[in-house]
Structures are given as structure tokens and as C-alpha cells.
Amino acid sequence: MALHLIGHLIFDLRVQRARNVARACALVILVGLAPAIIRLPALGGLAAVTMVLVVLVVFERLYFAELRRQSRDA
């Protein structure tokens, strides 16, 4: 998932010249939690990664709600 987020960040920076701070924070959290996640059982590690990504999705959904609304009305 960390590599996936890195890919998104590089793509956004290269194509849109945009920086997504929320995804960068999620990446830092995932990399920081990696040593703890490795020590957890597989299901616990998956749950930890899932929690970080769910928080990211909820944040982006709320943060970009107005932009989505505007593009829908146009």
C-alpha cells in the first residue's frame, strides 16, 4: 500500500503539479507503523493498514465534497 500511495503522489505531482498532503501523511503513517505491523498476526496487520486507508478515504471524501458537487452541477 505504501508503494501504491507513492505512485499516486508521483503521478499527481508529475501530471497535475499538485501535492496531496493527506496521502503523504497516510504514507508516513504506514511506513512508521511498518515495524509494528510486521510483528502483528496477518489479520491484525491487515486491519491496521485498512484503518489508515479508511481514515484517508473518509478525509478525502469530506475534503473534496464541494469540488465533486461543483463538477456534478456543471
Burial level of 50, CB count in 10 A (0-12/13-18/19+)? exposed
Which pLDDT belongs to residue 56?
96
Count of CA atoms in the C-beta half-sphere (13 A) of 53: 10
- 27, three cell numbers: 504514507
pLDDT along the chain (74 residues), means of 10: 94 90 95 94 96 96 88 80
In whole angstroms, give the CA distance from residue 13 to residue 4.
14
pLDDT at 72: 83
pLDDT at 59: 95
Instruction: Quote the pTM value.
Output: 0.83
